[in-house]
Structure 1
Amino acid sequence: MNRIIIIGGGIGGAATALALSRAGFEFVVYERAKELREVGAGIALWANATHILNKLGLLEEAKQVGYLTTNYQFNSQRGKELVNMAIDGFELPVIGIHRAELHQLLWRNVPSEKFILGETFERFERKNNQVHAYFVSGLSVEGNALIGADGLRSQVRAAILGNEPPTYRNFKTWRGLTDYIPNGYRPGYIQEFLGGGKGFGFMMLGRGKMYWYAAATAIKAQPDAAMGRKKELETMYQDWFPSILELITATDEANILTTDLYDRPPNQPWSQQNITLLGDAAHPMLPTMGQGACTALEDAYVVAKCLKEQSDPIASFQRYESLRFPRTKAIVEQSLQSGKMGELSNPLAVGLRNILMKVTGSAISSSFKSLHAYRA
């Protein structure tokens, strides 16, 4: 195989580049941004993802720049514990890490000439088993195979499967980063608080950073309130667990990001001959199970393994998709289910949900465990 073209240099694309590099392949990553950088948000790398970092030889470095997480706790909006899951029972740790730190860790370990920045993919053609990729700038390149790791609104996906828009899931999220550590924080914990039609969570990342996230039901593309993002959040969460307001107040407005939440109903195929998709381009999911970046890491490792085991990219991509589809479908559906639980706004329904969570704590815990016990 002479060369693999990767479109998109985010976490999925960078992980694919590293996995292919470790497997001895020729590849180049084309990224439309002018510089490689990830947004200021945190992620939890569950054991299924730290397994991949371990396989790629990055686990020790990730532990140094991340924070070891031991428990995942769900609470009512005022802070009454509903479920408390120990998540440190695996042979691999759970790590809270800044997206940018993870991104750097991946691409620092790939030769920089393998990343071509400022190139936006436009279309492709197939000629004699080769894929020719064309970019907006006029650049054209050829390879034996092409992997689209270009996110939720993937141009590669549109080129092979048609431009079907993703599905808006009635939620808007805010994410913040601060050095402030509230009094109510329990070291090692991811703490989530669930109210009516909204929720809030926070966790420690490495380097003394606290990451928090909020979600609330909203109409699509709902603009910020006139009072500004920070004031709006302070108003929304004023009567919640005290640490929540402390965290919002301690965060600079410039460090509060907002996004609408989308996914896609899981469908096959996501490959076409010698072209395939990976991460959000293939199976975008809601962040409720915290598995978006984790499944992208799994994809990257599995696609490289399939290419190594089978020299024909068409057969490799079919194998990759058949291995990945059942797992990612289950997680997309579970994440959506979880999101629907968060949409409840009637106080009675919220009360019932909270009781249900308390009662079924061990079932919730074991479903989480099976998700994280998976080893790609």
Structure 2
Amino acid sequence: MSNVSDVMVVGGGIGGLAAALGIVESGKSVAVLEQAPEFGEVGAGIQLAPNAMAVLDRFGVLEDIFELAVFPKRLVLKDVYTAKELATLDLGKEFQERYGYPYIVVHRSDLHSVLLNACKKKPEQIKLFNNQVIQTAEECESGVVVTNQSGETFTAQAIVGADGLKSNIRKLFSDDELICSEYVAYRGTIPIEEVSDANLDDVVMWIGPHLHLVQYPVRRGELYNQVVVFKSYNYKPDSDDWGTPEEMDKRFKGGHPLVEKAISFIERQIRWPMYDRLPLDNWTKGNITLLGDAAHPMLQYLAQGGCQALEDASVLADNLKQSDNYHTAFQNYQEERIPRTAKVQANARLWGRFLHAEDPLTLIMREKIFKEHTPKSYQVTDFLYGYHKRR
């Protein structure tokens, strides 16, 4: 049994690395236990709203992120068939003055690399371990202990479970199952040179009944990120034979020419079924707590999954600085975070149904809301983007 640090963070994704940076603020050492052979991120682009930017600023990595980011001018909803602009949100001067930070888009791997490099700059405080598939965690006489896939055990004073959607640490608190939305996503980037007719100034979401396409540039404008999402009409539980590339082509047939062209560029090797879980009313047990998708996996429709993990890391850091007792710090952390993340989870589901509406009544309501909306209706986004200012 090996003691590795004061705190073990299980999971080395965006949330886990941010948690490590936050924990060391309180003078504690951290071991990050990542299951993959190397630290890295899969996927494509990620949207970072001001509530996430505030955390990146706190952890001293904002300028590094800015060097790799794109700063869109607007968020735009378009009809997938007609290209009509349905609603926009201006991300310019007033937006930045209201929230204190810009809205940016980056490649997920770029964000992860910046956080990883920040951790590597603190070798005395943060240790990084790979090939650690943590199976179990429990309290013991010396604090807490985890066991990996080989039966090896590691101890520390406390554990933060940041091991993602299929978290093993979450099993301490719930035996709940993943909830499949019956939607799938296909993600990818293409060289910006191949994009001759796309809007490079905005984050654009083309919406239609039970489907959408998101587009925006990343990596200083060198790549163009595209995400296709649709509900499969062939959904089968416990099967991968649904939401196929062939079904994607059929579902988007008849879309606007720019949409059909975009679909032709989409990478088809990796299919991403979309899951979430119901909110938990507790994610702390003694000196063990959860963070990010392990605590509150959510659907992507508000672009807040990564942002909420970063918020977690910041609030966790605050509470560890305020209390030397891990259990007290973790309880106070979850007391703030559970209501917040549950609200975002619920709104992500609602926004997905709203965007993908097909029934006439919902479409009438949506059209009315869009007509009343202006590019500077920031009161709609205050609850998301203004969190750091309200705390």
Does TM-score exceed 0.5, indicating one fold? yes
The residue that corresponds to 1:100 in the other structure is 109
The residue that corresponds to 1:86 in the other structure is 90
Q: Work out whether 1:240 is the aligned partner of 2:249.
A: no
The residue that corresponds to 1:286 in the other structure is 299
Q: Which amino acid in the other structure matches residue 81 of structure 1?
A: E
Q: Work out whether 1:369 is the aligned partner of 2:382.
A: yes
Of the candidates 214, 222, 228, which is equivalent to residue 228 of structure 2?
214
The residue that corresponds to 1:16 in the other structure is 19
Q: Which amino acid in the other structure matches residue 173 of structure 1?
A: A
The residue that corresponds to 2:79 in the other structure is 76
Q: Work out whether 1:48 is the aligned partner of 2:51.
A: yes
How far residue 353 of structure 1 moved from its aligned partner, in angstroms, is 5.2
How far residue 86 of structure 1 moved from its aligned partner, in angstroms, is 0.8
Instruction: Point out where structure 1 has 5 or more consecutive residues left out of the alignment.
Output: none
**SS of the counterpart of 2:170?**
helix
Quote the Cα distance in structure 2 between the aligned partners of 1:27 and 1:355: 50
Quote the Cα distance in structure 2 between the aligned partners of 1:312 and 1:138: 29
Matched ranges for 1:160-309 at <5 A? 160-180=172-192, 182-207=195-220, 208-218=222-232, 219=235, 220=237, 221-223=239-241, 229=245, 232-254=247-269, 257-309=270-322
CA contact (8 A) 1:182 1:243 kept: no
Q: Which amino acid in the other structure matches residue 151 of structure 1?
A: G
Q: Deviation per CA, 1:95-147, whole angstroms, max 9, x where unpaired?
A: 10111110110011113671110011122332236111111212211111100
How far residue 264 of structure 1 moved from its aligned partner, in angstroms, is 1.5
Matched ranges for 1:289-368 at <5 A? 289-346=302-359, 348=360, 351-352=363-364, 354-362=366-374, 365-368=378-381
Quote the Cα distance in structure 2 between the aligned partners of 1:252 and 1:370: 34
Quote the Cα distance in structure 2 between the aligned partners of 1:357 and 1:176: 32
How far residue 9 of structure 1 moved from its aligned partner, in angstroms, is 0.5
Instruction: Point out where structure 2 has 5 or more consecutive residues left out of the alignment.
Output: none
The share of aligned pairs that are identical, in percent, is: 26
How far residue 224 of structure 1 moved from its aligned partner, in angstroms, is 5.5
CA contact (8 A) 1:147 1:276 kept: yes
The residue that corresponds to 1:114 in the other structure is 127
Quote the Cα distance in structure 2 between the aligned partners of 1:162 and 1:253: 34
- Report the TM-score when normalising by structure 1: 0.91
How far residue 364 of structure 1 moved from its aligned partner, in angstroms, is 6.8
Quote the Cα distance in structure 2 between the aligned partners of 1:252 and 1:131: 42
**SS of the counterpart of 2:354?**
helix
Q: 1:150 to 1:205 in 2, by over 3 A?
A: same
Instruction: Judge which range, 60-69 or 310-319, deviates more.
Output: 60-69
Q: Which amino acid in the other structure matches residue 161 of structure 1?
A: F
Quote the Cα distance in structure 2 between the aligned partners of 1:66 and 1:37: 18
CA contact (8 A) 2:139 2:287 kept: no
Quote the Cα distance in structure 1 between the aligned partners of 2:181 and 2:249: 24
Q: 1:125 to 1:196 in 2, by over 3 A?
A: closer
Quote the Cα distance in structure 2 between the aligned partners of 1:214 and 1:322: 36
- Report the TM-score when normalising by structure 2: 0.88
**SS of the counterpart of 1:68?**
coil
Quote the Cα distance in structure 2 between the aligned partners of 1:82 and 1:366: 18
Instruction: Judge which range, 49-58 or 81-90, deviates more.
Output: 81-90
**SS of the counterpart of 2:166?**
coil
